[in-house]
Structures are given as C-alpha cells and as structure tokens.
C-alpha cells in the first residue's frame, strides 16, 4: 500500500510565527500530538505537543516565544508514492508519532501517523 492511499490530506499546519499558546490550543482542539510547520506553502519544520509544553514552561521566563523558537527544522519526511512499510520503519526506528508527506517540490501534501499505520494493519 502506498502512503497516498493512507495519509491525511491537507493536514492542519502551523505558522512559524504562531504563538506557543495558540499552537498548543490548536493541537488540543484537534487531538493531535504534532503538527507540520509551513511557511509560504513549504514544509519548514514540525512541532510536537511535548515541544510546546516545554516551551510553555519557558514562557514564564521568556514571554515572546513562538513556534519558530521550538520547532524542529528540516524534519524527516516521506513522499506520497512511498510504501507504507517504509513509513512504518522510519517511525519505528526514529520513535516518531508521524511523518509529514511532501511533494517533490517540498510542498506539504499530507501527514501519516502511527494511528494511520495501525488502521492499515487492522484492515489487512
């Protein structure tokens, strides 16, 4: 099975200039553990709920943190024509919860999560 058959299309993404609190509220609202960070249509990073929780603690000291300050730049990605097995191996080896899915030009086209892969296994 290919990633494009399983991924979430047009995932909720964050701006690198979004506030830490706003980003955390977005993750809570949608019950996500991570979100891609996009600027001018291009994937530039990924941020997790853990990154944001840690940053919220820091905001008691520094009140001007935003997503850009805590996101992970140059995230590991996968293309939509890759096999699901490849995504599962990357997620397992790197201990990730999700992989952004990008086009050949670096545009974010989706996201594949551990839950998506588990659903795939259950449907076999």
Domain ranges of the chain: 3-123
- Token look-up 């594949």 returns 112
- Token look-up 């140059």 returns 74
CATH code matching the domain that covers 3-123, chosen among 3.10.580.10, 2.60.40.650, 3.90.960.10, 3.40.50.1980: 3.10.580.10
The average pLDDT across 58-84 equals 86
Structure tokens at 48: 């997790």
Distance separating alpha carbons of residues 2 and 4, to the nearest angstrom: 5
pLDDT tens-digit profile of 77-90? 999 999 999 999 99
- Token look-up 């191996």 returns 89
64: phi then psi, degrees, rounded to nearest 5 = -110, 20
pLDDT band at 65 (very low <50, low <70, confident <90, very high): confident
pLDDT beyond 90 at 108: yes
> Distance between the two ends of the chain, CA-based, in angstroms?
11
The average pLDDT across 36-50 equals 95
């Amino acid at each position: 099975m290919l990633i494009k058959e399983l991924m979430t299309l047009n995932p909720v993404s964050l701006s690198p200039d979004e506030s830490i609190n706003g980003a955390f509220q977005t993750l809570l609202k949608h019950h996500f553990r991570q979100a891609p960070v996009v600027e001018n249509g291009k994937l530039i990073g990924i941020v997790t709920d853990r990154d944001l929780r840690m940053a919220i603690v820091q905001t008691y000291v520094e009140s001007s943190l935003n997503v850009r300050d805590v996101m992970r730049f140059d995230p590991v990605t996968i293309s939509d024509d890759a096999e699901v097995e490849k995504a599962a191996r990357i997620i397992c080896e790197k201990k990730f919860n999700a992989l952004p899915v990008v086009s050949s030009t670096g545009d974010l086209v989706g996201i594949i999560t551990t839950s998506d892969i588990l659903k795939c296994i259950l449907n076999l």
